[in-house]
Structure 1
Amino acid sequence: MFYQESYNCMVYKSNPKIVEDFDFFIGTLNRNLLNKISVSLIVEKIGVQYELAKELLNYFESEEILEKQFVIVCPCEDCDQILGIISFDEMDEFIRETKECFNCERDNLEIKRENIYVVYKRIKLATTSQEEIADTLEERNVISKRNDDINFIRADLLSEDDIYKYYYNPNKSALQKLKKGYDNLKNHYTTTTQKGSVLEELVNEVFLNVKCFDTSMKYRTETNQIDVTVTPKIKVIEPAVLDFLIPYFVCECKNEKKVSGNTYYHKLFSVIESTDARVGILFSIESCAKTCKIIAREKYLSSKKYLINITKKDLQKIIDQELSIFQVLKAKIDAISLSSNTLLKELGLDYK
């Protein structure tokens, strides 16, 4: 194969032929395809299912063989002009500053998610030996280099998962800090204040790692100290769940092994009831009492405000990057509005 990394791909263990085909395709790309690789293109060329193609591309991206890029096209109905190919970090500024298209000559452009496509660019050459590459080419009989003129319409639209990853993608040092904070929950503390502060600081740290969030641990009402208040900063392309979190939301933290009862939910609702906040989150070690779910549903029906519970188990999935914080928030909010635990169960989140 062309890439030594291909041998370590999980898919290779169960289906080496697919990985070999994918490796060969990436390794022999023509110049005109180097920055036009998409999930849909892999599905077409390799003949695999969409999710498997996505998994292969994500793996090669994690191994820094490929780099994800975003294609912005003109939003005008009769114009598919490419306005730019950029990284996610460049997206906000690009969209704010790009207001006209030289092709259709229209101005005041309003670029939305449906005008953004995801492609991958090959950034690393082959990592196996020249001998192995020669053997691969000989074995394959060197199929003539592909001459396809792929256009970006075959690329894939920017997904909610892409947005989640952009806004919550802690680096290595941030993850180590989060994991240390999570491990500190197991320690013994001499006072309840120390014990409570550990969970509060961890929750604050999780939200600090979200690019569009500002946090504060200083706010208080006339009757309550609010453990953590989170204020979203509006971005051009934002997760849909952010609609529920604007202009801010509040968090209460209970680092107690016992099950949190109704009192905590009533207190949390009293904090958001007379404010603009629509969401109140109770962070706890164990799932709150089953009656809290009933209270949350009643409060939602009467006020359209959400009381949700995120447990230690849920936090672990966020910190281990099994799930994005946005996936967890959306699933918890949907569980109340839909009165269904289906998505929570699918994601392995606490739902009692």
Structure 2
Amino acid sequence: MFYKQFLEITDVLNADFVENFDYWLATLPRNRQKNITASMVAAKFDVKYSLAELILKYAEQQKILEHYYLVKCPECDDTLLIITENAVAEILSAPIYCSECERNEKLTTDDIYISYKVIQQPDITEEQLYQAIEQKIIKNGHITGNFINADSLSNNVETLYKEFYNPSESAYNNLKTLRKKLDLDYGKNTTAKGYSLETLICTLFNEIKGISCTRDIRTETNQFDCTAFCSVKTSKLSIFDYLSPYFIIECKNEPNDKPDNNYCNKLLSIMETNEAQIGIVWGRLDATSTCFTLSREHYLTHKDSSRNQIIVTFCDIDLDNLIDKKINLLKYLEIKISGITLGDKNIISKTFKDTN
């Protein structure tokens, strides 16, 4: 092996594939050590896309490769920008000018492609590398040929969720501070008591790029505890499709009282009159089992309608998972919704049982 790090995975992945990939990566000429994609690796070595993606991610963990994103015009396929992960949400929020098309283009996750570049050279001498290259026929290629739709963010949901939800340590510390305020003695001031949970939940959801959560939405008949507006839409099914255009959260800061069907029915009646697809009941204790039954039955009744109407519940256990264990909120929401659609009320504990 030219890269000794790959010796660690020859017993886990296909040994021939690992050896061939190592040889190929080590002997790439300098001008082709970028724009490496999973689809290109999969095609070159005739392996499954998931296997190609796995070895690229491993190489990045070993600091052999580094990922970045190419932003391409949806019309002419011209490369508009090269960006890092912190810029993804910003790029999707406003149109980008394409000089080739001579107009602004509205981008989606289909237009952002995950690429890798070599940042560490192999552990061999120039003479050894020269001998290896001498045995290899190098074919010229064009950058566009490296990309297929599978390389776009729309088809990499895990990466998408990480880019849009990645709180800093200071953000987590702030959430912990707000959580402590839930149990202060508010006396008879129920407004302040409720406000403490609403503030925490709004702060939590505002950590998602593209989400704007507020306590200030009122209608002629209802005042919502928290309303979260979602500006992100993906062409492939993801949690953002459920969250768009907005979702509603009802909060219950009662440490000794479980939310019941009254909360669920209130949310469902509200959702019948607006465009929200997701309603969240957030209490301190886990909601009564009848809440899950009601949400499941409502989903089955409306699953063939033009839009979703799903109620999910959260409690202090979920706060611990999200704040202390730092589980990705978008992934967590996706699994919560899957629990309703699959009819498994224990799906969270099963999915995240090994999370420390």
Question: Same-fold call, TM > 0.5?
Answer: yes
In the alignment, the residues of structure 2 paired with residue 146 and residue 315 of structure 1 have an alpha-carbon distance, to the nearest angstrom, of 56
Q: 1:71 to 1:274 in 2, by over 3 A?
A: closer
Q: Which amino acid aligns with 1:164?
A: Y
The question of whether the paired residues in 2 share the 8 Å contact of 1:70 and 1:116 is answered with yes
Correspondence list, 1:129-140, <5 A: 132-134=123-125, 138=128
* Superposition deviation, residue 110 in structure 1: 7.0
The answer (yes or no) to whether the contact 2:234–2:240 under 8 Å persists in 1 is: no
Which residue of 1 is the match for residue 116 of structure 2? Answer: 120
Matches within 5 A, 1:312-331: 312-319=316-323, 320-323=325-328, 325-331=329-335
Secondary structure of the residue that 2:267 maps to in structure 1?
A: helix
Bigger mean CA deviation after superposition, 108-117 or 47-56: 108-117
d(CA) in 2 for partners of 1:216 and 1:235?
A: 20
| Structure 2 letter corresponding to 1:203 | I
1:134 maps to amino acid: T
**Contact 1:71–1:117 (8 Å) recurs in 2:** yes
Instruction: Say which SS state the counterpart of residue 253 (structure 1) adopts.
Output: strand
Preserved CA contact (<8 Å) 1:74 1:83: no
Q: Report the 3-state secondary structure (helix = DSSP H, G, I; strand = E; otherwise coil) of the residue aligned with 1:67.
A: strand
User: What whole-Å deviation, never above 9, does each CA across 1:287-322 have from its counterpart, x for those lacking one?
Assistant: 422211232244443695322113444445545454
| Correspondence for 1:227 | 225
Distance 1:168 1:239, change over 3 A: farther
**In the alignment, is the contact (CA less than 8 A) between 1:118 and 1:157 conserved in 2?**
yes
Q: Deviations over 1:216-268 (max 9, x none)?
A: 13445567653322112357989744343333222123353654322222233
Aligned residues: 330
Question: Which residue number in structure 2 is paired with residue 341 of structure 1?
Answer: 344
Q: Is the 8 A contact 1:253 1:283 kept in 2?
A: yes
Compared with structure 1, are the counterparts of its residues 273 and 133 closer, same or farther at alpha carbon in structure 2 (3 Å cutoff)?
same
- Offset at residue 68 of structure 1 (A): 1.9
1:24-76 deviation digits (Å, cap 9, x = unpaired): 65454322322221113334556765434323433444666412222525546
User: Are the equivalent residues in 1 in contact too, given 2:239–2:334 (CA < 8 A)?
Assistant: yes
Deviation string, structure 1 residues 167-212 (Cα, Å, up to 9, x no partner): 222234334444x358748x85334857655543332222111111
Normalization by structure 1: what TM-score? 0.70
Q: Is the 8 Å Cα contact of residues 72 and 111 (structure 2) preserved in structure 1?
A: yes
Structure 1 residues 222 and 271: alpha-carbon distance in aligned structure 2, compared to 1, 3 A threshold: same
Amino acid at match of 2:185: T
- d(CA) in 2 for partners of 1:154 and 1:333? 35
Alpha-carbon distance between aligned partners in 1 of 2:3 and 2:345, rounded to the nearest angstrom: 40
Separation in structure 2 between the aligned mates of residue 232 and residue 52 of structure 1, nearest angstrom: 33
Structure 1 partner of 2:56: 57
**Structure 1, gaps ≥5 residues long:** none
Counterpart position of 1:263: 262
- Retained in 2: the 8 A contact 1:250–1:280? yes
8 Å CA contact retained: 1:249, 1:280 = yes
Closer/same/farther in 2, CA of residues 154 and 230 from structure 1, 3 Å limit: same
1:97 is paired with a residue whose SS is: strand
Tell me the distance in 1 between the aligned counterparts of 2:296 and 2:223: 25
How many Å separate the matches in 2 of 1:25 and 1:321? 37
- The 8 Å contact of residues 27 and 132 in structure 2, kept in 1 or not, is answered as no
- Residue type at the aligned position of 2:72: I
Note if 1:163 corresponds to 2:133: no
CA distance in 2, matches of 1:334, 1:148: 46
Counterparts of 1:24-63 in structure 2, within 5 Å, are 25-44=24-43, 49-61=48-60
Instruction: Determine whether 1:208 maps to 2:198.
Output: no
1:154 deviation in Å? Answer: 3.8
Alignment counterpart, residue 306 of structure 1, candidates 301, 304, 310: 310
Do the aligned partners of residues 310 and 109 (structure 1) sit closer, same or farther apart at CA in structure 2, a change above 3 Å counting?
same
Question: Quick one: distance in 1 between partners of 2:262 and 2:237?
Answer: 32
1:189 to 184, 188, 213: 184
The match for 2:92 is 92
Higher mean alpha-carbon deviation, 197-206 vs 107-116, is at 107-116
CA distance in 2, matches of 1:257, 1:207: 25
Amino acid at match of 1:189: L
Distance change (3 Å), C-alpha of 1:97 and 1:21: same
RMSD across aligned positions (CA): 4.6
For 1:233 and 1:283, how far apart are their aligned partners in 2?
23
- Paired-residue identity, %: 28
Equivalent-residue separation in structure 2 for 1:317 and 1:146 (angstroms)? 52
Aligned equivalents of 1:201, 1:110: Cα separation in 2 = 33
